[in-house]
Amino acid sequence: MALKSKSKKVAVALSGGVDSSVAAALLKKQGFDVVGFHMRLWKVNPNKDSQEETEKRVKEIGRVLDIPIKIFDFKKEFKKIVVDYFLDSYKKGITPNPCVVCNAKIKFGLLMEKAKELGCDYLATGHYAQVKDKKLFRAKNLEKDQTYFLWKLKQKEIKKVLFPLGIIESKQKVREMAKEFGLPTAKTPESNDVCFLGTTSTSDFLKNNLKTKKGKIVDTKGKILGEHNGIWLYTIGQRKGIELPIKKGRSAFPWFVVKKDIKNNVLVVSQNEKDLLKKELIAQSVNWLCGVEPRLPLKVKAKIRYGSLEASAIVKEKISKGKYRVAFVKPQRAITPGQSVAFYLGSELLGGGIIQ
């Protein structure tokens, strides 16, 4: 990142956590004209004291770094774009990825528009990722790398984003830097995976917002084993929460969800983990970060969930607009509709899509 940046104005998305605050401090140190942007977002059980505490911390970051702070109320937009998508996905029987949608539509959508309106040249966040030559690469800290959630970015956004933490080797180093900068975030806890849920569990949120109807639990041969509490509450590969009694002649090995028959409200389970293995998937709404479709077939490393390792795969063919067939060299466990698949070449993020 060039240090000759005094004439460049950058908006930094400040959540009130350690990552974004250190990102702002690093850019200020490098000579950028920094302004802090904080978003008020919809939450399941909004806590006025908690929100006030967060905003107080954001303002303190502004005071310490001597940067202006602007607060935007995106609660209505966030509810419509992210939360409603979250619920609609579960209603369709698929497992959503709200962070991907939030990044594309809120942070690098609405917030980037605000940055442009205020004459900012860039928008920066505390994401662990790197931008080089208008391409997106994994962060130096592979354990915290967040490129998986950024596959929806377009060239017009990549040209205008900065990820200062991409070159930092560890989270511990980030916390040490926060302390060195005198920031009030050095010991702030890690944020929740699904930020708008807070302390509410996903199952409780779904029960409160979707009509749950009991239905049959069957094995892969169609034998009825028991009853589920609502098909929305389960996801492919899930083991916990499948409450099947141990009966004579039935082994005590755990059960796994292998299929959801939404139409008939039937949950299919198996005690054989091999039933979760599949060699192919269909990816839809695929976005290539370079803006140009690569030549197929294309050998890649594919990541089917944030917590999984990349696996060798081939993007075999284009089925229709934005839809591709992907084959893995080795079968993958619990390929889950609704989740994202991200494609890598070395450390470069080529693009991604939604598993159909």
Hey, which residues are catalytic here? 102, 195
Whether 28 and 65 have beta carbons less than 8 Å apart is answered as yes
- List residues bridging with 161 in a β-sheet: 123
The amino acid sitting at 143 is: E
Count CB neighbours of 290 within 10 A: 14
Measure the CA–CA gap between 137 and 218, rounded to whole angstroms: 44
Q: What angle do CA 134, 138, 144 make, to 5 degrees?
A: 135
Q: Which two tokens stand for residue 153?
A: 């970015």
Selection from 25, 54, 19 nearest residue 38 by Cα = 54
Tokens coding 168: 């930092």
Closest CA to 192 of 102, 80, 123: 102
The 8-class DSSP code of residue 287 comes to E
**Nearest of 313, 325, 236, 316 to residue 284 by alpha carbon:** 325
Q: At what angle do helices 18-29 and 171-180 cross, to 10 degrees?
A: 60
Are 349 and 342 within 8 A, CB to CB? yes
Q: Is 31 exposed, middle or buried (0-12, 13-18, 19+ CB in 10 A)?
A: middle
